[in-house]
Structure 1
């Protein structure tokens, strides 16, 4: 009789995804010897070699690949079983690991805090990262869900990820209310000439800035500190170019009355999406689905932005 367990199925799926026993052990919070011994025990019980091991990593054998695909379905079915059982008792447990760019952090913390009040048994971990780092964390299994900005290019590029949109958005200029630029309903490229600019450090904002044809924009600072951006806007020392929903979802930015946001004129008014991503090999547990539902509801009811009409 086979004595394998659910944890061992999870182990082989993670090893196959990471291609490394060491990386898998780190992700699973196990020692490398413990993980290695568990896999050897499973291979002995099955009388099958699941992985080719070398200095370059661990790659599934032909038989291993087929069994690992089956293991993924078993794990999804097991999670469905747990979710169904919890639904009958109106309780939820498990872990929520989320990575986000700074904009939605305030809303995210509020949603998770209320979720913890309703379901005290859940565990949560929140990480603040750039879009690139968030995508990598989701790909590597370090987090369950990432909150990012993206466009169709990313959806085609990262085939192992599932993209779900929460909001449509586009690039805007945030300008101090006393600036002469606020009299315009749209910002053109020429208007940025000689204007001091502060940017949030994000690859998609960087890509957007490459679309400008001006010889040299006066970019004073690139930072990942939202307070620095807020202070620059409120003190009228720079304008900020970024995603419009950052000014809706960030607590500090959304409550400030010292600046307004102005849309860009075509062709610079391109649209992005704000949403969540997860690895296609990993299902979303009931508690994570509940978190996403509450996050989506909160975003829909968030106060309107400070847009010039």
Structure 2
């Protein structure tokens, strides 16, 4: 028996099927099935009832899964305790984010590095889909994205923590007629050149309009390009409101304004972070997330 098998047990119990658990764990179905079979042989007990409908824990399996979850938690506590005996924290911070909070995250990483110079840090910026994949693959510890209840239900082995409520807005140069509007209605977007950040939520939001497709000038993953486009009054931008509050390039320009959508297109989203429940969180990551919460609370975002 090994730690990986304990993780496999817990994930199968959570997912309800070997196939879904294998997908969540990013291992092959035969490898997962064989690992659990070997564990059952070693313990001389059946942990799961397997059928076409899924994998359901036996009565004994339920107890063992709960014990396994507790054991994994204790192992994490052991690691944290060992680190606490040193005079400084070690480890690595690997995070990925949607562009909006990049400056905040970089500032916090810099702050922690000053206090704990032995840690290593990697910060990536990309789209929601990319970030989810990297967390699932274990290449990133924590991802910062915009999400809905759909993602929480779809990725059951991911733990989501909300930081802010947000919604879609239109950003327009002050010289644009849209800048004078109190609310943006769908018909106002017709014949307007639009630049979009390349993110699946923004793309899904755009398809919710009856008049779609609009005049999409281009999509980009470069926030500076979006800012230049707005400042030059080349196009309008549709994106998340928090990006214009937290992103350094977008929030510090006085050349454009942000306007809310009128119903039914005023829709709220959650912005926050998520991590893989199978991997847990190291002591340094928990410290980093604690500072994120305090920073956002102090900034009243």
TM-score interval, smaller chain: 0.7 to 0.9
Q: Distance in 1 between matches of 2:108 and 2:172?
A: 29
Alpha-carbon distance, 1:279 to partner? 1.2
Give 1:116-265 correspondences, 5 Å limit.
Answer: 116-214=113-211, 216-265=213-262
Check whether the contact 2:174–2:255 (CA below 8 A) recurs between aligned residues.
yes
Q: Secondary structure at the match of 1:92?
A: coil
Gap change, CA 1:224 and 1:69, over 3 Å in 2: farther
Q: Distance in 2 between matches of 1:148 and 1:120?
A: 28
Q: Secondary structure at the match of 1:109?
A: helix
Unaligned runs of at least 5 residues, structure 1 = 25-38, 49-61, 305-309
Alpha-carbon distance, 1:78 to partner? 2.3
* Corresponding residue for residue 49 of structure 2: none
2:288 to 261, 269, 291: 291
* Corresponding residue for residue 34 of structure 1: none
Gap change, CA 1:210 and 1:237, over 3 Å in 2: same
Alpha-carbon distance, 1:83 to partner? 2.1
* Corresponding residue for residue 3 of structure 2: 9
Check whether the contact 1:186–1:263 (CA below 8 A) recurs between aligned residues.
yes
Unaligned runs of at least 5 residues, structure 2 = 12-20, 28-34, 45-57
Check whether the contact 1:13–1:68 (CA below 8 A) recurs between aligned residues.
no
2:140 matches 1:112:
no
Gap change, CA 1:300 and 1:153, over 3 Å in 2: same
* Corresponding residue for residue 275 of structure 1: 272
RMSD: 3.7
* Corresponding residue for residue 94 of structure 2: 97
